[in-house]
Amino acid sequence: LSLPVAVLLVAATAIITPLKAQRWVPQNGYWEVVSSVAKPSEAIVKYYDLAGHLIGQERFSGMRLDLRKRRTCRWLNKRLQTALSGWASRK
């Protein structure tokens, strides 16, 4: 490939890539993990809608939530979706 074509391909990829939704990033709400350094195996996960309303929370004891792992984030996103659908049905 010539240099201008290669630059164009790299620029197009850089523009398109952020537009794709990542599966581990929640789309219609968010969650927050509250834990203590003294007790890392205990955490409270709070679930919010996009407007910032608290829609639910869960307490996890005896397990560490490693938020650096995509699998953990996807798992929390599934729980967020469950909380959002339950909240919508009660509302």
**Residue pLDDT, tens place only, 5-49:** 555 555 555 555 454 555 556 778 899 999 888 888 899 999 999
In a 13 Å sphere around the CA of 49, the CA atoms on its Cβ side amount to 10
Name the one residue in this structure whose structure tokens are 């990542």: 22
Cβ contact 35:43 at 8 Å: yes
Give the pLDDT confidence score for residue 45 in this predicted structure: 94
With 70 as the cut, is the pLDDT of residue 57 above it? yes
With 70 as the cut, is the pLDDT of residue 58 above it? yes
86: helix, coil or strand?
helix
Give the pLDDT confidence score for residue 38 in this predicted structure: 87
Amino acid found at 49: D
Q: How confident is residue 54, by pLDDT bands cut at 50, 70 and 90?
A: very high
Euclidean distance between CA atoms 51 and 12, whole angstroms: 33
Give the pLDDT confidence score for residue 86 in this predicted structure: 87
